[in-house]
Amino acid sequence: MNRYRIIIPAMLILLQGCAAQSQLISDVEETVTYETLEYYLYYPKGYEEDEATNYPLLLFLHGGGESGGELSMVKTNGPPKLIARGKEFPFLILAPQNPHARQWWNTRAVKQLLDTVVANNRVDTNRVYLTGLSRGGGAAWEMAVQYPDTFAALAVVCGMAPVPYASWINKKMGIWVFHGTEDQSIPITESESMVRRLREMGYDVRFTRYEGVGHNAWERAYSEEELYDWLMEQEFNNSH
């Protein structure tokens, strides 16, 4: 188990008013936010011996049910669950835990953790992949928007998908979306609307619908061996 403390500096512009006389005053306050992220980091077979090779890395963001509590909860679903059952992957997997049971992912903190892991391991920075399910799927969409030059591929499973995000996502990034048609927590229309908009804008997007499946579409999505083969084919391309 690893613990990583994030310190996020930020500048906040404060607008202050005066009761006696109406004024608009500019001021500056430097704020610091602390976030403690526990995480699992998986190394593929042969990593230690093959010192000349840089490996791809998959960042996995879990859902709301695994937030808070013990780190072992992260192994409930997705790639960490498969690893616990003995599956081997050809890339590193970074799986942090959202420490807040009822709060959104702090994606800035996650990005700082990712940067630190990449800097301290042999990672191919052109082959960093991003995936998430449910609440983590929504956070994955957000990270794809906030950090368009980081990820070579994005795989989202039943995540909330604000359609305006489509305008900010790197068009050269591979995208694969999964959703169950009977999802009562996050309706499939979330993914349908986003995929439709992305395709209208010229994105090449894969979309897998699981007929009759509810919110737990991740059980089938992360069991798709084709998903991991597809990820390994993706490489960041910033050429015009």
Average pLDDT over residues 220-233: 98
Number of domains in the chain: 1
Question: Which residues, 6 or more positions from 58, have their beta carbon under 8 angstroms from its beta carbon?
Answer: 79, 89, 91, 92, 93, 94, 129, 130, 131, 231
User: Minimal CA–CA distance to 40: which of 67, 3, 6, 65?
Assistant: 3
Instruction: Assign residue 81 the CATH number of its domain.
Output: 3.40.50.1820
Provide mean pLDDT across the span 182-193.
98
Give the dihedral sign, CA 226/229/235/240. negative
Measured CA to CA, the distance from residue 134 to residue 39 in angstroms comes to: 18
Q: Is residue 5 scored above 80 in pLDDT?
A: no
pLDDT at 6: 53
H-run or E-run covering 74: none
Tens-place pLDDT, residues 68-117: 999 999 999 999 999 999 999 999 999 999 999 999 999 999 999 999 99
CB 159 within 8 A of CB 141: yes
Residue 110 corresponds to which tokens in the numbers above? 């996650």
| pTM of the predicted model as reported, rounded to 2 decimal places | 0.89
User: Does the residue 24 lie in any domain?
Assistant: no
| Whole-number percent of the chain with pLDDT over 90 | 85
Predicted confidence (pLDDT) at residue 175 exceeds the cutoff of 50: yes
Between the CA of residue 82 and those of 35, 152, 183, 220, 224, what are the distances in Å?
Answer: 28, 23, 23, 12, 12
What pLDDT sits at residue 21? 76
Whether 14 is in a domain gets the answer no
Residue with token string 């009562």: 184
Question: Does residue 238 sit within a domain?
Answer: no
> Beta strand pairing status for 123-133 and 174-180?
unpaired
Beta bridge partners of 153: 129, 174
Per the prediction, the chain carries an average pLDDT of 92
Distance between CA atoms of residues 61 and 39, nearest Å: 10
Residue-wise pLDDT tens digits, 56-72? 999 999 999 999 999 99
Q: Could you tell me if residue 206 is inside a domain?
A: yes
203 lies in which domain range? 37-233
Per residue in 14-66, pLDDT (tens digit) is 444 445 578 999 999 998 888 999 999 999 999 999 889 999 999 999 999 99
- Within-domain flag for 15: no
The whole-angstrom separation of Cα 201 and Cα 221 is 25
Residues with Cβ within 8 Å of residue 145, at least 6 apart in sequence: 165, 168, 169
Q: Is the pLDDT of residue 198 over 80?
A: yes
